[in-house]
Structure 1
Amino acid sequence: MTDELLIKFLLKETSEEEGIAVQNWLDAAPSNAKHFEQFKQIWNSSKKLSTQSNVNGDEAWLRFKQRASAAHQPLVRRIKPTYQWLKIAAVLFLIAAAWSVYSIFSPVSYTPITAGNTINKQLLPDGSEVTLNKNTQLSYATNFKKNRSVHLQQGEVFFNVLHDKTRPFVIDVDKIAVLVVGTSFNVKHLNHQTEVIVETGIVKVSLGKDEIALHKGEKIIIKNTTDKLVKMQSTDQLYNYYRSNEFVLNNTPLWRVVEVLNEAYNSEIVIKDPAIRDLTLFTTLKTTASLADNLKTICLTLDLKSVRNENQLLLSKNTK
């Protein structure tokens, strides 16, 4: 996307085809929308300066070109002189030049945080706290105190975000953006599916043009095929097991328990008999216990049996 076209878009001088191209670009990724907002701020500043400046457009362009050449990278293309707003654009280019050259030599980089076979709990530079479940990859902007931006590559993270209205906290997960000011919530991104569960406060989740606000006790599940965001109630506290070290089961159906145990122990428990899928459990299991011990408790409680079949553990009704 060229700066020339973005300026035309801001001035509402794009053709219908150009306008659609810009809008599609904005919807393609949260990072594009963020770049556009920065560009818009620079443009607005340039309009204020243009009323006070008698800068020569051609001279300004030449100075900008020299700065861009010094950075050995073509930053923008010259706007055709037929546009009447060349002088305003020249001021924009002078402002953008300093920002662009600085960005080239001091690009925004990200600091990784990972969790292997153990839970990883850390403080971010702004004082926000993150707890990474096993096998999670996360990164945050190195200038985090100014730019509270986080990328979740894969895994599961609980965020306890420090309140700051002036600097929103943004998490990018593929094409999904999670925006908060100060709250606590859980984000899981596994197997091409993203889940957000809010524990306190309000969280805004956006996908393309669609945006939804989640409150305490609400969650959203976004799959690759999702085209509309729909929130729902969070029915259990099992998402919290890696922080609490407990599987709290309160009228929890067996299929849900199996789902979480497979994730926690990297196992393959299979419910062989569909008739037992919705049997419910009222108990608390420890994450420090072995999978065999926890399965034994479940089988005794529901009168089930567990049989190993190669890598699978098959659950069915006990017929003895």
Structure 2
Amino acid sequence: MAEHDDTDAPALTALEACALDWVVRTGSDAFEDWPAFHAWLEADPSHAAAYHAMALNIEDVAATVPPAPVASVDVRPVRRRWPVWTGGAIAASLALLVGYEAIETQSHPYAIETAAGAMRTIRLADGSSIAMGGATRLVLDRDDPRAATLEHGEAMFVVRHDARDPFEVRVGGARLVDVGTAFDVKHARGETRVAVSEGAVDYNPGRDAIRLVQGQGLLVRGGKATVTSVDVASVGSWRDSVLAYDGVPLAEVADDLSRALGVDLRADPTVAKRAFSGSIATAKLAGDPALAAPLLGVAIRKRGGHWVMSARS
């Protein structure tokens, strides 16, 4: 292999070297330490920017090198994965990188879950962030940082818009594609609720797409999608321990309180469909759902290992 003259190669800063280290490590199929990677991203906003810059530089280098011949080719389109550098060593500068193996892979999903009563914020390499409520499961893809699947629970997405590579959220068999957006998504009891606080989002892009703009929401229930109005100030308010509602069934309120407080609260059929409008400051409940009973106009009592919301006697 020909030697490279690195006399004029610029030295990387400590942050750039660390970011390059993470780009190389996360590009390997053997990498598993995703919690440590996300902790590093969340430690300082400059980390995500540096990681993104190093990743883009590597993509530019990779684009100039022809792929090695292979015996067979999978013709299904896949997103390029970060290159894995031969020898496993991290060079002192991008100019010193002497070779790589471009690896084309299938998706590499991984799940992040929160326990009931807990919240977590994930900062993505592109500068986007996802706040997760309690008892929420989110699936991300190591090969596609611009996609997420909300399996259950609630999450607030604040997305860095890129028209060439839109951020996509999959939920309940549907797709939400950002149009420069901050939006909240909740999926529970077989229903999906979306609320947009900034920009716009397209629900199921295509011929039957529904575009939601700031101040609009969407309720998907029983296969029927209904556009609603939402209070922008209340979108994602659960992040500040406030649950805000406008005509929502008490069964849904019970589910939300369960996730927020880390308890098992169920709505009795006698009150499950009763509509509630108002706000609940969950921090003031101190983990005791019964303290919310007067506000909700119901009785809340503990029965065995769970709580039950029922009509007042």
TM-score (norm 2): 0.56
Q: Where does residue 241 of structure 2 map in the other structure? A: 245
Does structure 1 retain, via aligned residues, the 8 Å contact 2:184–2:196?
A: yes
Question: Residues 194-229 of structure 1, C-alpha deviation per residue, up to 9 Å, x if partnerless?
Answer: 322111111101177421000122222234x41x54
Amino acid at match of 1:286: T
Q: Any residues of structure 2 matched to 1:107-126 within 5 Å, and which?
A: 107-110=105-108, 112=110, 114-117=112-115, 118-126=118-126
Does structure 1 retain, via aligned residues, the 8 Å contact 2:128–2:159?
A: yes
Q: Any residues of structure 2 matched to 1:212-231 within 5 Å, and which?
A: 212-223=210-221, 225-226=222-223, 229-231=225-227
Does structure 2 retain, via aligned residues, the 8 Å contact 1:198–1:216?
A: yes
Percent of residue pairs identical: 20
The answer to whether structure 1 residue 295 and structure 2 residue 290 are counterparts is: yes
Q: Where does residue 312 of structure 2 map in the other structure? A: 317
Q: Which runs of 5+ in 1 are unaligned?
A: 1-66, 77-95
Report which of the two has the higher share of helix: 1
Q: Where does residue 133 of structure 1 map in the other structure? A: 133
Distance of 2:133 and 2:121 partners within structure 1: 9
Tell me which of the two structures has the higher relative contact order, counting C-alpha pairs closer than 8 angstroms and 6 or more residues apart. Answer: 2
Q: Where does residue 175 of structure 2 map in the other structure? A: 177
Does structure 2 retain, via aligned residues, the 8 Å contact 1:184–1:199?
A: yes
Given candidates 244, 252, 266, the residue that maps to 1:269 is 266
Q: Where does residue 228 of structure 2 map in the other structure? A: 232
Does structure 1 retain, via aligned residues, the 8 Å contact 2:161–2:180?
A: yes
Does structure 2 retain, via aligned residues, the 8 Å contact 1:308–1:314?
A: no
Secondary structure of the corresponding residue to residue 317 of structure 1 = coil
Distance of 2:246 and 2:193 partners within structure 1: 21
Q: Rate the CA distance shift 1:119–1:288 in 2: closer, same or farther, 3 A.
A: farther
Q: Where does residue 150 of structure 2 map in the other structure? A: 152
Q: Rate the CA distance shift 1:164–1:158 in 2: closer, same or farther, 3 A.
A: same
Q: Which runs of 5+ in 2 are unaligned?
A: 1-68, 84-100
Give the superposition deviation at 1:155. Answer: 3.1
Does structure 1 retain, via aligned residues, the 8 Å contact 2:200–2:214?
A: yes
The two structures, once aligned, show a CA RMSD in angstroms of 4.0
Q: Rate the CA distance shift 1:284–1:250 in 2: closer, same or farther, 3 A.
A: farther
How many residue pairs are counted as aligned between the two chains?
A: 220
Larger radius of gyration: 1
TM-score (norm 1): 0.55
Distance of 1:195 and 1:140 partners within structure 2: 23
Distance of 1:113 and 1:74 partners within structure 2: 26
